[in-house]
Amino acid sequence: MGRFLLGRITGAGIVLLLKSFVIFALIGLMPGDPLDLMMNANPETTPEQMAHLRAMYGVDLPITQRYWTWLVAALQGDFGYSRIQHRPVLDIIIPALGNTLILTGAAFVLSTTLAVTLGTIAALKRGTWIDRIINLFAFAGISVPSFWLGLLMIYLFAVRLGWLPAGGMPRPEQGFGGMLAHLVMPVMTLVIVETGGLARYARAAMIEVLSQDYIRTARAKGLTDRRMLVRHALRNALIPVLTLVALQLGGLFSGAALTEAMFAWRGMGRLILEAILGNDYNLALVCLMFVTATILIANICADIAYTWLDPRISLGKRRR
Amino acid sequence: MSGTWHANSWLSGAGRVASLRGGRGTASCTDDQRPLRVATALTEPLLLGRALTVELGPAHDRTSVITGLDFSLAAGRTLGVVGESGCGKSMTALAIMGLAPSPHRIGGVLRFAGQDLLTMPQDRRRQLRGADMAMIFQEPMTALNPVVPVGVQIAEMLIVHDNASETAAWRGAVALLDRGGIADPARRARAYPDELSGGMRQRVMIAMAIACKPRLLIADEPTTALDVSVQAQILDLLLELQRDTGMAMVFISHNLGVVSAVADDIMVMYAGRALETGPAQRVLTAPAHPYTAGLIATLPDIGRRQKILPVIEGSPVNPRNRPPGCAFAPRCPRVIAECRTGLPAMVMVSPGQEAACIRCAA
């Protein structure tokens, strides 16, 4: 296990390094650079001034050299300044990360729990009206675009009923209640959209497991339905579901850009969008690196969870 | 009477005492420890089926898979159920266990230890399963849960049925593995099914089935998936356990040779019906039904080199379109015109032996 983890973390480090160069190069390839924007803002800049500025910011150097400079600084913990906000990149990213994690984390926990529960119930009540209603809900969730759902909720709960704030971040003095009020709509939007697919998947996995011989054995043993379900069926059904959950976990920091934009939630999704649109090299680069890192970490977590759920899978070492 | 419970003897009340003797006489040994069970044994056999029918499928599209099955089984004895794939032997087992796939409808009489299984509340039926009647299956690899250590799967029986504590149940599981003939049981109890050999997995299944000292063990093709040498060991283990505990056994197999090694009585099934029943010795040496005779003829003889193995021509009928007369008629070497019109009734051909064949009745 220790060796496996070490190997995977080293691998993740290499992927991260390669990815940083690719992102750096891609951003370099984007049309225009920060100085073009500067020039647009002040049409009286002379070409000599421009050349001087380019040399000063290092934009005239070849991309490999620029990358090397960035990497050396980054490895020392200096990720540079945001061009737009004139603040160190990390000072901007860390609060955004926190905000996103609150939003997507809550949605993730809720949607996963809900999906597994609904999928299990649908599988157990297969073919009945309960199954049909759950399926209908799942398909509705899959089909409904999140921006439409979000707007509908804003109209209903914020504009019409006035129960909830239409968007934005809670002020610190509003405390936990304020946080909750601001979270309800974006979290609901994410949960409804994410639950459908996962619930369908959990249902299929559960139906598959319930037809297995060992479930017949469990029934022949005279186990209670509850024990059969929890001890024998659920654990086996969760193995395939875990793959999908791991993918969603990877999207925790980036997957909610649209929802964040709609509810003016100051999270990572929105930050990435703003950084790219504003040609904010340093900010976009580090944001995208964080997203990559999350996906890599989620994959490692999924591998560990697999061994925990399924003893037939062992990580790098021979079993007994 | 050779110790077989039959419809006539039970219904008329004759021959009860005679039936308790005979066989290996193991019934009395357990009856000493369980005085209550003597009473039930004296009034009726442990397991009793009368005109048992099983239909599968929803109400508008039912298929009859078992029709008019009569059987009875006393404590300490073994009923061998023989027939080709799809003849309804496994479905009979599942019906007894209360595990027939839903939706289904079961008719006739099915009684166990003096209780009516068919009208019993579901929860009472569940308590009976595992504790009083247990079952082992053909393929132990798939019948065991792949992600739970085998010791836990056995211990679970003691926790659910005997209210054992976790630690007591674990100790019990290790003891049961030892009883099942598994070496180093304390270590093996922590193993997962895929870490054990086929024979060991079946031993685990058996250990699990006997955990609560059931009075009836249903073994559905327990040796079919195993090597021949391991088959013999498993059969020996089952017989030894039966001798020690006095449990009754329903032993299902398509292999007449295996059944002959364990069964006191044999029921030959075809297309959801019994074609012949009787004491194992009698049925094997003097088969009355042409189908039984055919099955015996297809057993390969180790002393003789055979280029072509004997077969029964044709294939079993589909339960959905059974012929109007005897279901075996299309394949029967002794078929006559009457076979295709009337359904033959069970007739006694020798003491305790019955066959459903017009040719026997004539």
* Cα–Cα distance list, A22 to A10, A17, A29, A67 (Å): 19, 9, 10, 10
Taking the CA of residue A205 and the nearest CA in chain B, the distance in Å comes to 15
Among A42, A75, A108, which residue terminates a domain?
Answer: A75
Residues in Cβ contact with A81 at an 8 Å cutoff, skipping those fewer than 6 apart: A87, A88, A89, A282
Give residue A316's pLDDT.
55
Hey, of A221, A224, A306, which one would you mutate to test binding to chain B, going by the most B CBs within 10 A of its CB? A221
Inside any domain, residue A242: yes
Q: What is the DSSP string of B348-362?
A: EEETTEEE--HHHH-
* Cα–Cα distance list, A155 to A86, A160, B201, B243 (Å): 36, 6, 62, 77
Inside any domain, residue A317: no
Which chain B residues touch A227 with a CB distance below 8 Å?
156, 160
- Please say whether the beta carbons of B38 and B27 come within 8 A: no
Helix or strand or coil: residue B43?
A: helix
Give residue B28's pLDDT.
37
Which chain A residues touch B131 with a CB distance below 8 Å?
222
Which chain B residues touch A219 with a CB distance below 8 Å?
99, 129
Q: Is B166 on the interface with A (CB under 8 A)?
A: no
Is A176 exposed, middle or buried, given 0-12, 13-18 or 19+ CB atoms closer than 10 A? Answer: exposed
Residues in Cβ contact with A164 at an 8 Å cutoff, skipping those fewer than 6 apart: A157, A158, A181, A182, A184, A185
Taking the CA of residue A311 and the nearest CA in chain B, the distance in Å comes to 6
B145 and A214 within 8 Å at the Cβ level: the answer is yes
Give residue B256's pLDDT.
87
Give residue B360's pLDDT.
79
- Are A61 and A175 in a shared domain? no
- Are A222 and A248 in a shared domain? yes
Hey, of B102, B132, B147, which one would you mutate to test binding to chain A, going by the most A CBs within 10 A of its CB? B147
Give residue B37's pLDDT.
46
- Are A216 and A251 in a shared domain? yes
- Are A136 and A258 in a shared domain? yes
Q: Is A221 on the interface with B (CB under 8 A)?
A: yes
Give residue A34's pLDDT.
67
Report chain B (362 residues): mean pLDDT per 10 consecutive residues. 38 34 36 44 80 90 90 93 88 93 90 91 92 91 92 94 92 92 92 91 93 93 86 90 93 89 92 92 91 86 71 75 83 85 87 88 63
Residues in Cβ contact with B25 at an 8 Å cutoff, skipping those fewer than 6 apart: B76
For chain B, what percentages of helix, strand and coil (3-state, to nearest 5) are there? 40, 20, 40
A217 and B145 within 8 Å at the Cβ level: the answer is yes
B142 and A212 within 8 Å at the Cβ level: the answer is yes
A232 and B148 within 8 Å at the Cβ level: the answer is yes
A223 and B146 within 8 Å at the Cβ level: the answer is no
- Are A52 and A115 in a shared domain? no
- Are A113 and A257 in a shared domain? yes
- Are A116 and A262 in a shared domain? yes
Give residue A32's pLDDT.
67
Q: Place domain B7-132+212-301+310-361 in its CATH homologous superfamily.
A: P-loop containing nucleotide triphosphate hydrolases (3.40.50.300)
Q: Is A203 on the interface with B (CB under 8 A)?
A: no
Q: One-letter amino acid identity for A124?
A: L
Which chain B residues touch A237 with a CB distance below 8 Å?
none
> Please, what is the average pLDDT of chain A?
84
C-alpha B188/C-alpha B204 separation (Å) is 10
Say what percent of chain A tops pLDDT 70.
95
Q: Is A314 on the interface with B (CB under 8 A)?
A: no
A312 and B147 within 8 Å at the Cβ level: the answer is yes
Range 45-104 of B in CB contact (< 8 A) with A: 97, 99
Residue A319: pLDDT over 50: no
More confident position, A41 or A117: A117
- Are A160 and A46 in a shared domain? no
- Are A171 and A40 in a shared domain? no
Q: What is the DSSP letter of B49?
A: E
Among A25, A47, A75, which residue terminates a domain?
Answer: A75
Mean pLDDT across the stretch A180-191?
Answer: 88
The model's confidence at residue A121, banded by pLDDT at 50, 70 and 90, is very high
Nearest CB neighbour to A221, from listed B130, B194, B195: B130
* Cα–Cα distance list, B125 to A222, A223, A229, B112, B193 (Å): 8, 11, 18, 11, 28
Inside any domain, residue A176: yes
Q: Helices in chain A by DSSP H: which ranges?
A: 2-29, 34-41, 47-57, 63-75, 89-124, 129-143, 146-153, 175-210, 213-220, 225-227, 235-250, 257-262, 268-277, 281-309
Q: What is the pLDDT of residues A255-270, one digit of tens each?
A: 678 888 888 888 888 8
- Are A138 and A260 in a shared domain? yes
Q: Is B206 on the interface with A (CB under 8 A)?
A: no
Number of domains in chain A: 2
Inside any domain, residue A53: yes
**CATH code of the domain in which A225 resides:** 1.10.3720.10
- Please say whether the beta carbons of B282 and B2 come within 8 A: yes
Give residue A297's pLDDT.
87
- Are A63 and A103 in a shared domain? no
Helix or strand or coil: residue A24?
A: helix
Which chain B residues touch A319 with a CB distance below 8 Å?
195
For residue B110, the cross-strand partners are B49
Taking the CA of residue B144 and the nearest CA in chain A, the distance in Å comes to 5
Helix or strand or coil: residue B332?
A: coil
Nearest CB neighbour to B156, from listed A223, A310, A311: A223
Among A45, A75, A105, which residue terminates a domain?
Answer: A75
Which chain A residues touch B157 with a CB distance below 8 Å?
221
Give residue B362's pLDDT.
58
Which chain A residues touch B134 with a CB distance below 8 Å?
220-221
Domain residues for A155?
Answer: 90-309
Lowest-pLDDT choice from A52-56, A108-112, B263-267: A52-56
C-alpha A183/C-alpha A160 separation (Å) is 18
- Are A243 and A161 in a shared domain? yes
Range 222-281 of A in CB contact (< 8 A) with B: 222-224, 227, 231-232, 235-236, 239
Residue A87: pLDDT over 60: yes
Nearest CB neighbour to A221, from listed B129, B192, B195: B129
For B152, which residue in chain A has the nearest alpha carbon? A231
Q: What is the pLDDT of residues A265-286, one digit of tens each?
A: 888 888 888 888 887 878 888 8
Q: Is A171 on the interface with B (CB under 8 A)?
A: no
